[in-house]
Amino acid sequence: MNFLAAAGARRLCAVRAVLPCLWRGKYLSSGNEPAENNSVTPMLRHLIYKIKSTGPITVAEYMKEVLTNPAKGYYMNRDMLGEEGDFITSPEISQMFGELLGIWFISEWIAAGKNAAFQLVELGPGKGTLLGDILRVFSQLGSLLKNCDISLHLVEVSQKLSEIQALTLTEEKVPLEQNAESPVYMKGVTKSGIPVSWYRDLQDVPKEYSFYLAHEFFDVLPVHKFQKTPHGWREVLVDIDPQVSDKLRFVLAPCATPAEAFIQNDETRDHVEVCPEAGVVIQELSQRISLTGGAALIADYGHDGTKTDTFRGFCGHRLHDVLTAPGTADLTADVDFSYLRRMSQGKVASLGPIEQQTFLRNMGIDVRLKILLDKTDDPSLRQQLLQGYNMLMNPMKMGERFNFLALVPHQRLHGRNHQTNARQSKPSPSPVAGFGELAWQ
Ligand code: SAH
């Protein structure tokens, strides 16, 4: 079936973010000086109190507190995405992004034998825009999915963003069920009648046949930072600046710290960032996929174990000093894809990372763009589509900095039956879409 043509028989979405906005994969300031904001925020007061009572904290603890402290964390009570916020992400830029990801999941579902049911699980769904675009593709390909029992599972720590996601996905057509004490803290039904549940932790999502999606999720998980010194690796810590009141500074731990165990023995860089929480999530995903099938698609900006100091902040579409006015700016670090692959511990097969421009081109973004352009004469919509395409695909913009990694069961790549004798003929499995050209079947 020609998925793109089928999905093309629909209206265009409303105009999205007006460009230019800043995307977080961006790393150098491109002439923008870091935004300065020296106010003593409630988070800064909280951290100073904490450091005074127990001593300097790791960068991972700093990042976790600043981003997801239940009361004052940056992510907890605000909408930071889009023009009015602090940064922009691919789904907020163009509907084509989510549509092509929707096709990826359907393609994997078909390749794996069209299971009678699946869960679509998204980690860190932002405003729910990406899921909304994916669900629209599911609706358009309804004849294909009509006998499949689909449910949505959103892993989100932010109260504010979960409310926005609910609005995007359900339009509150059916009242939401809320229970702050339960691992499933909210439940609803989407506009198209699909049940949707919210969790704070992946561990609480039912261990059923699932497709997992994580877009710009791993980069917000806390990293430990280490510096090589003549005395060996020393962890970078956050301390109070003794010279200036109400100011934080980086210091090196005087001796080895437990997190050093995460550094590889053969590490050649002199500065490294490691994200144990990302390792835990990957282990959980790999375990689930190896036991129940399905697949995970992970997209983020990152590197393959080569970069050093990537920890940075964003506020109001400008780079922001990470230690200034904590709680008012986003903090992020590039994802180390080599570490993610290592943490899958061979339980699943991994594909990629490959650059976003390659993945989207393989998924048929050029055809999709043409279909959408042919559908409208509205100059502003046409311009928005072209600008969005350029932002997603241009190697100087998001095309190269963002990468896609997929985790699939080993059987998906090597045929279904491990026991099959090599001389017996068996159908060769179809290639995984996006990581080779989309198969037109
Ligand atoms: N995927 C979205 C949003 C990316 S921003 C997009 O691409 O537009 C990061 C998202 O992860 C936000 O929804 C944030 O609230 C959520 N998040 C941050 N830390 C999290 C954690 N520890 N567990 C679950 N969600 C988290």
**CB atoms inside a 10 Å sphere around CB 4:** 21
Sign of CA dihedral 128, 334, 346, 112: positive
pLDDT band for position 428 (cuts 50, 70, 90) = confident
Residue of the CA atom closest to atom 26 of ligand 1: 124
Average of per-residue pLDDT across 169-188: 90
pLDDT of residue 417: 42
Average of per-residue pLDDT across 119-128: 98
> What b/e readout covers 61-86, taking b as 16+ CB neighbours within 10 angstroms?
bbbbbbbbbeebbbbbebebbbeebb
Give percent of the chain above pLDDT 70.
89
Give percent of the chain above pLDDT 90.
81
For 254-261, which contacts have Cβ atoms below 8 Å and span 24 or more sequence positions?
256/232, 257/58, 259/58, 259/60, 259/224, 259/226, 259/235, 260/226, 260/233, 260/235
Q: What is the reported pTM?
A: 0.93
Query: What is the C-alpha separation between 401 and 97, in angstroms, rounded?
Result: 15
Q: Is the pLDDT of residue 284 over 60?
A: yes
- Residue 332 Cα distances to 11, 170, 223, 311, 405, angstroms: 35, 30, 9, 6, 19
Percentages of the chain per state (helix, strand, coil), in multiples of 5: 35, 25, 40
Q: Which residues contact 216 (CB under 8 A, 6 or more apart)?
A: 24, 89, 90, 124, 126, 299, 300, 301
Peptide bond before residue 353 is cis, with ω within 30 degrees of 0: yes
pLDDT band for position 425 (cuts 50, 70, 90) = low
Q: Is the pLDDT of residue 360 over 70?
A: yes
pLDDT band for position 130 (cuts 50, 70, 90) = very high
Whole-number Å distance, alpha carbon 221 to ligand 1 midpoint, is 9
Query: What is the C-alpha separation between 114 and 111, in angstroms, rounded?
Result: 7
pLDDT band for position 206 (cuts 50, 70, 90) = very high
Q: Where are the alpha helices (DSSP H) in 69-213?
A: 90-93, 95-111, 129-140, 142-145, 159-170
Q: Which two tokens stand for residue 385?
A: 């589509």
Whole-number Å distance, alpha carbon 226 to ligand 1 midpoint, is 25
CB of 219 sitting under 6 A from ligand 1: no
Query: What is the C-alpha separation between 164 and 162, in angstroms, rounded?
Result: 5
pLDDT of residue 15: 59
pLDDT band for position 369 (cuts 50, 70, 90) = very high
Determine phi and psi for 177, rounding to 5 degrees.
-100, 130
pLDDT band for position 37 (cuts 50, 70, 90) = low
User: Could you give the dihedral angle defined by the CA atoms of residues 185, 190, 194 and 198, in that order, rounded to the nearest 10 degrees?
Assistant: -20
pLDDT tens string 140-177: 999 999 999 999 999 999 999 999 999 999 987 778 99
Mean pLDDT score of the chain, rounded to an integer?
A: 90
CB of 155 sitting under 6 A from ligand 1: yes
CB 190 within 8 A of CB 196: yes
Residue that is written with structure tokens 């999502």 in the block: 205
pLDDT of residue 9: 42
CB of 86 sitting under 6 A from ligand 1: no
The beta-strand segments (E) located in 181-267 are: 184-189, 195-199, 210-215, 224-229, 232-240, 248-252
CB of 161 sitting under 6 A from ligand 1: yes
Whole-number Å distance, alpha carbon 87 to ligand 1 midpoint, is 13
Q: Is the pLDDT of residue 312 over 90?
A: yes
Average of per-residue pLDDT across 67-86: 91
Residue of the CA atom closest to atom 17 of ligand 1: 124
pLDDT of residue 38: 61
Strand 149-155 and strand 195-199: pairing? parallel
Peptide bond before residue 206 is cis, with ω within 30 degrees of 0: no
pLDDT of residue 2: 62
Question: Atom of ligand 1 at shortest distance to CA of 216?
Answer: 4
Question: Atom of ligand 1 at shortest distance to CA of 75?
Answer: 15
CB of 165 sitting under 6 A from ligand 1: no
pLDDT band for position 106 (cuts 50, 70, 90) = very high
Q: Which residues contact 6 (CB under 8 A, 6 or more apart)?
A: 140, 141
Sign of CA dihedral 201, 206, 207, 213: negative
